[in-house]
Chain A
Amino acid sequence: MSGGRGARRGVRGVLSLAVALCVGVPVGATAQQADVRANLAARGLPPALVDGVVAIVTDAASQGLPTVPLADKALEGWAKRAEPQRILQVVQQFAGRMGEARLAVRAAGMASPPGDVITAAAEALGRGMNAGQLGSIVRVNRQGGRLAPGLRVAAALSAQGMRMDQAVAVVSGAMRRGRSSDQILDMPSIMRAMQAQGFDAPEIGRRMTSGDGDHGEGEMGGHMPPPPHRTGGDGPEGSVSSPRGGA
């Protein structure tokens, strides 16, 4: 008798688990879509546009792609008063690029890239990095800790005027030498400072690739220009810098 009761209890447990999974997982996905829908509607996007974006987001979620950047892209387009059709095109294009980026990252040996890596890789592809260059950064850092910052910095250095292959070599080299995410994130500022002091992009890339310019301890030495002025103190909190524009 007690054995039969135990078996029934076991069956009941398995059934409860199955019900919880059947209900819980779709509810999670639906809740995510509801959040996106509510967020877009709260910013005043018309219902038809919201529906279109949510459809793309749902499809991306079903493929395991990040959804937040898609909603953000829609909000950006709406804030800039782009045509709804154009907004949907851009969001769809970014979703497709995230899919390509994930394939490229996987092909380079990272089986399950996290969302921030997929997003950074997609943006890098959009700025002219090819799958081979992307893969060469991934292969240096398959564990992923510095991967998203590395991809973003390589893309930024390229946008600052460095050739993409050189930017990729600079970032890969810094990772290989054990530079931290923080040090890698400083590179665009370093490049900016060196440009202001008259160095051209290839020369900056050469110095950074050889380890002179990635501000590793003791590496700036006599090869580097005088250290740039850093505003607002050196603390992680309280540093004030000044992007300045003009109208």
Chain B
Amino acid sequence: MSGDQFTPDAQRYLDGGLHGELPRAEQVSAERLLRAAESYRDSLAAPDASLDDRVMEAVRLRGRRGRRPEVWRWALESRIRPVWVPIAAAAAAIVMWLALPRRGAPPAPPVLAVAQRSDTVFIRFELAAPGAHTATVAGSFNGWDAHALPMVRNTSGTWTVTVALPVGEHQYQFVVDGARWQPDPSAHAQVDDGFGGTNSVIVVGPKGLVRT
């Protein structure tokens, strides 16, 4: 660390990923910065509990207000070439015909709604595995990709990762050292995965999970 520049290790230290592994001079500086940051954070007034709701409501209102003029402007200013009118009408007719339920014929394959709502909630996963070299989370939210969501180890050997999940039900497991799949005992429920293992289940509401 020289001047205002931090080494990657110092940056990791400040992010909580390293502890006690920096050169002495860097560690002193980093600890001074952390103390300053904590002091600054303590001096801030805590927002009241309804702040999130009010901000999200304001964002939604703004979105609604902003869209209407766009629609009107499009309707008033658009110039459609006559040749496109019958083509568009034919396309619309085909779409409507395809959408109508038909007796005797199986319905068109429905598109699975993976996320039932657009809302997302940040969920922090934690795994106490001091002896592990790597840990990841694989689940229904990332195609069960054992490499997609690496966790970060903190000083006490706890691995964590925070991820934005759509509200709804999610199944997952931790993958330790790239090969060992293990369920999360703190999840809402555990279910048979069909492959001889157990998936952990969380049901995420729009206000997150409840920690006890």
A binds B: yes
Residues of A within 8 A of B (CB): 13, 16-17, 20-21, 24-25, 29, 32, 43, 60-69, 72-73, 75-80, 82, 86-87, 90, 93-94, 111-112, 114-116, 118-119, 127, 148-149, 152-153, 156, 159-160, 181-183, 185-193, 196-197, 228-247
Residues of B near A196 (CB, < 8 A) are 212
Interchain residue pairs with CB less than 8 A apart (17): A76-B193, A77-B195, A79-B146, A116-B112, A127-B191, A148-B113, A181-B117, A188-B202, A228-B212, A234-B208, A239-B207, A239-B209, A241-B210, A243-B186, A244-B125, A244-B128, A244-B184
Kindly state the interface size class of chain B when it binds its partner.
35 or more
Kindly list the 7 A-B residue pairs having the minimum CB-CB distance in the complex, ordered from nearest. Answer: A235-B52, A239-B208, A241-B209, A159-B189, A247-B129, A115-B110, A196-B212
Report Cα–Cα, A60/B176, bound state, in Å.
35
The closest CB in chain A to the CB of B171 belongs to A76
B127 at the interface (CB under 8 A from A): yes
The answer to whether A156 and B203 have CB atoms under 8 Å apart is yes
Taking A79-B146, A189-B203, A244-B128 as known contacts, 15 extra A-B pairs with beta carbons closer than 8 A to each other, sorted by chain A number, are A16-B90, A21-B98, A66-B109, A80-B144, A127-B191, A148-B116, A149-B168, A185-B167, A189-B205, A192-B188, A235-B52, A236-B56, A239-B122, A243-B200, A245-B184
Residues of A within 8 A of B203 (CB): 152-153, 156, 185, 187-189
Complex: A17 Cα to B197 Cα, angstroms: 51
Query: In angstroms, how far is the closest chain B Cβ from the Cβ of A111?
Result: 8
CB of A231 within 8 A of CB of B114, answer: no
Bound Cα distance A37, B114 (Å): 19
Q: A160–B174 Cα gap in the complex (Å)?
A: 20
Interface of A is mostly: helix
Bound state CA distance, A143 and B185, in angstroms? 36
Q: A173 to B211: give the CA distance in the assembly, Å.
A: 25
Contact A79–B123 (Cβ < 8 Å): no
- Write the residues of chain B forming the contact surface with A, with a CB cutoff of 8 angstroms: 49-53, 55-56, 90, 93-94, 97-98, 101, 106-114, 116-117, 119-132, 135, 138, 140, 143-146, 162, 167-169, 174, 176, 181-191, 193-197, 200-212
Closest to A232 in B: B208
Q: How far is the CA of A238 from the CA of B164 in the complex (A)?
A: 9
Assess whether B212 is in contact with A193, with CB atoms less than 8 Å apart.
yes
A233, chain B: closest CB distance, angstroms: 5
Partner of A75, one of B101, B144, B188, B206: B144
